[in-house]
Chains A and B, each alone.
Chain A
């Protein structure tokens, strides 16, 4: 825009709350974006891992000689080629196995060759000899005396225990008028990222490692992967190209990445290791399955008195972030609704199953299924309806939970009331139940569920912070280097909005740079619904520093104070009337070319949220803020085929402040789709430790024609500390929907299914068995 076109007066327009397209959308829609899966480096080799076909066996011998002789094979490694160190949360997972295999995933060897086809041929030539060992797959069997031991360091097969107690549960139970028991077993599902697991490793002549990785936590990953590579963390550079989804699957170090590095080191060439889709289903970490046993009580007036919850977690053969989901599960158990007395225990038990990792919702998907199904059962006893019962026990703003979380700026009651009103819940709920005994083949049901989640990160490491480096150049173009990563969730766009808002530049003039640990500032990782809040605040503060530098200089030059000036549409203007003072780019050039007083506008910020780590008793305000969502689902059930069609989902979520409606809606809609799959159709069928359905044809995620109508409402509680009042939002939609579906099935048919997914066969069988039982009773 030439200065002759400069308008004399510019009004203030906010970009917060505007519908802004995602920054990288045009590259993605034209196919220009190169994901890790598309990357090619000069002289790059391809790699494949040899995985075992046993679930528990001692390794007698691995013979790679014939494979090494195959033309086109450049390097083969086994455990002898890597340090003895284990990776993962308990460091119990050596990338390549030498003593025994404990799961169907176990990595025995890896090949780097000129093509994937040669890799596959080489794998077939590697000979492995085993001595089979007895295997265990159920927690209960692993706990029996004399059970096979998975890891000799833990002869009782207990990987981790989490416990929390508040108050006196036993007295509370004695004093309760009603006690309801329930058991809920939630199942294995997997992320199904469209971009399969893939990594590229490139080793410098001096041994420094560069990884092109899909990781979600690059800075801590350096520390976590270093022992498996015998390299100093400072000599590991992690670059994050665009990824095809993540959803929590990449928050730990998994064997394939150090294996790829070891191959690249041996081959002295870059190596790319990519999973096949079948391998992705088998080898990518799952969501943590949990067996819940719940006892909960209330007064005759329906006021909750206690919860006593015991859980078993099938830890599989190695430990990743699945074992630590109790950290979040326990908060739902102790703090979702007002519960005066709580006892919670979680034991993660080793078995020969595949192991779990983090997955969107992280323990709260599982907890909310159990708690909200259980609450629905309690509502049935307490009356008058599921909404009134929940309102009676709802948390209020200002509550401090039994774990010390401060629920400021929350509005569970508001969410419940709005969801109930919009869906006409109570009258439909009453009407549909009357159809339980009708002969109609097709029945309608409506169900409600709510949950609480951290919305401002989770202080589980020494820092929950995020850094920003920001510069404004001579053309008034802004570059933002954030420690946070865009994994498709739109953090790039949100950060650009915050920056554009402070600096008054058009969105198109802000570039957000993808992560490279060599140049980027530290961030703990993309998880715990933290990026809008923490990376957003960091970017905002950095932008404010730049703004202050700019306005201070402009004020000096115009002989006014900085608070009389504003930045709008790439210009410095008078704050009260918008009269243009000077174009921003001209000012910046004056600041730059000022001889000995030269100033470039380059700033940094590091934002640490005001949360506390939990102490050893699990007490601590561990997130900067919290929020709620309520879902109502209206469904249609074919009582003969058991098929459930979800007609409408009403979602009401406390988001603090809407920053980008497009991105926000997209996260809610996508999160609900994932939760619907969890509730109705997704199930990784693991039998005797083996994945029986490692294909999309037998593992059903939701498709376009299956999706319900969405009715989305956002409540803005304006968090005091959140950037522009915004809170994290992306996990709650996956967390809440499933029990709403289960509760709707109960409302439609009177059939309660405690263990998801509610597949057509399960529903049909449940209704059939109940009809047969009623027939027998009548006879």
Chain B
């Protein structure tokens, strides 16, 4: 719109609609491909000139192998093309990891949920990425595929290691995110997701938080605490987790947990919120969830 916008919007010079993982990674193999599924982030960003876009658009939305949610042998696999609506509707996830449908219910709008994929939410890597937060609490791993040595090669890595910075992941340009996996949570696993309002969902989170763990006798073990929008990526707060691990909640434990939280997050001032308010919300949500879970 103004003289200052010197970069041109993206003009794609090649288009591939892949129907298999092999076709997709072969189309990405020269490093000049942009995978697209729902397009709800990409189709806004491509014209802004803030992110570099490759010349070949690779439509991965029709790859059946990237769909589906399955629990098998104590592991749950969620295909990268799973939409937020599919997460909401999934009997498997409602049964084994209800925090994920609960998170999807706070995501954007119905129209966006119908097409936005968990893969897209992860790779877009917003510091406020709603869906990444509970996945971190589930110790999710990301599965990536690429074309190497005349075949499809895959690697897995913890989701937290994939995130690199605001809008950046450690996905190589030749790679495609194909799925996330996590161990089927135990029967006593509890997880809750909080997100700032006041709108129910159509908000970019000022702060989001997920507190999870195995709840026995008013104590949480295997504590997982993840937050969004308080650091360059969604993060786990390991030292804060340690203060909660196995502890009975009292004023001292609570105070210690909140102090640790304060030291582990690095919120910024931006157009949506001040750093103060982000800290305030993070503390509010942590205390709220600790009391809810550990005080009954």
Contacts and interface: CB of A to CB of B under 8 A. Distances in A.
Interface stretch (B184-192, B194-202, B239-247, B257-265): B194-202
A760 B272 CA distance: 11
A509 interface: no
25 contacts: A50-B3, A51-B1, A52-B2, A52-B3, A53-B3, A126-B3, A127-B3, A276-B1, A279-B1, A641-B196, A641-B281, A641-B284, A644-B198, A645-B198, A680-B198, A698-B272, A700-B199, A703-B202, A706-B198, A760-B196, A760-B197, A760-B198, A760-B277, A761-B277, A765-B277
Contacts of B5: 124
A680 B198 CA distance: 10
A643 interface: yes
Contacts of B8: 121, 124
Interface string A259-295: 0000000000000000010110010000000000000
Interface in A398-434: none
A681 B198 contact: yes
Contacts of A145: none
Nearest to A283: B1
A126 to B, nearest CB: 7
A128 B271 CA distance: 29
B113 to A, nearest CB: 14
B271 A693 contact: yes
Contact of A761 (B2, B4, B274, B288): B274
Interface in B247-286: 271-274, 276-277, 280-281, 284
Given A51-B1, A685-B271, 10 more contacts: A52-B3, A53-B3, A276-B1, A640-B284, A697-B204, A698-B271, A703-B199, A705-B200, A706-B199, A768-B280
Contacts of A761: 273-274, 277
B289 to A, nearest CB: 13
B50 interface: no
Contacts of A703: 199, 202
A34 interface: no
A278 to B, nearest CB: 6
Interface in A685-718: 685, 692-693, 697-698, 700, 703, 705-706
A645 B9 CA distance: 41
Contacts of A48: 1
Contacts of B281: 641, 764
Interface residues of B, number: 26
Interface string A625-647: 00000000000000011011100
B271 A692 contact: yes
B75 to A, nearest CB: 36
Interface in A742-765: 760-761, 764-765
Contacts of B6: 124
Contacts of B202: 703
A279 B8 CA distance: 18
A765 B277 CA distance: 8
A697 B126 CA distance: 14
* Range class of the A interface residue count: 35 or more
A279 B9 CA distance: 17
Interface string A112-135: 000000001101101110000000
Nearest to A62: B3
A643 B198 contact: yes
Interface string B5-25: 110110000000000000000
A51 B272 CA distance: 25
Contacts of A645: 198
Nearest to A104: B2
A764 B273 CA distance: 12
A692 B273 CA distance: 12
Interface string B95-106: 000000000000
A549 B281 CA distance: 72
Contact of A50 (B2, B272, B274, B288): B2
A706 to B, nearest CB: 6
A705 B199 contact: yes
Given A641-B284, A700-B199, A765 B271 contact: no
A575 B199 CA distance: 58
A128 B3 contact: yes
Contacts of A124: 3, 5-6, 8
A212 B282 CA distance: 52
A666 B293 CA distance: 45
A699 B199 CA distance: 12
Contacts of B288: 640
A697 B202 CA distance: 8
Contacts of A768: 280
A110 to B, nearest CB: 12
B2 A51 contact: yes
Given A121-B8, A698-B272, A760-B198, A278 B1 contact: yes
Interface string A22-65: 00000000000000000000000000101111000000000000
A347 to B, nearest CB: 30
Nearest to A127: B3
Contacts of A680: 198
A120 B2 CA distance: 9
A681 B9 CA distance: 32
The 3 closest A-B pairs by CB, nearest first: A53-B4, A761-B277, A53-B2
Nearest to A126: B3
Nearest to B272: A698
Interface in A140-198: none
Q: Which of B2, B5, B280, B284 has the most CB of A within 10 A?
A: B2
B66 to A, nearest CB: 28
A451 B146 CA distance: 67
Nearest to A696: B202
A765 B198 contact: no
Interface in A66-125: 108, 120-121, 123-124
Interface string A476-518: 0000000000000000000000000000000000000000000
A48 B5 CA distance: 14
Given A51-B1, A128-B3, A276-B1, A643 B197 contact: yes
Contacts of B1: 48, 51, 123, 276, 278-279, 282
A769 to B, nearest CB: 10
B285 to A, nearest CB: 9
A193 B213 CA distance: 47
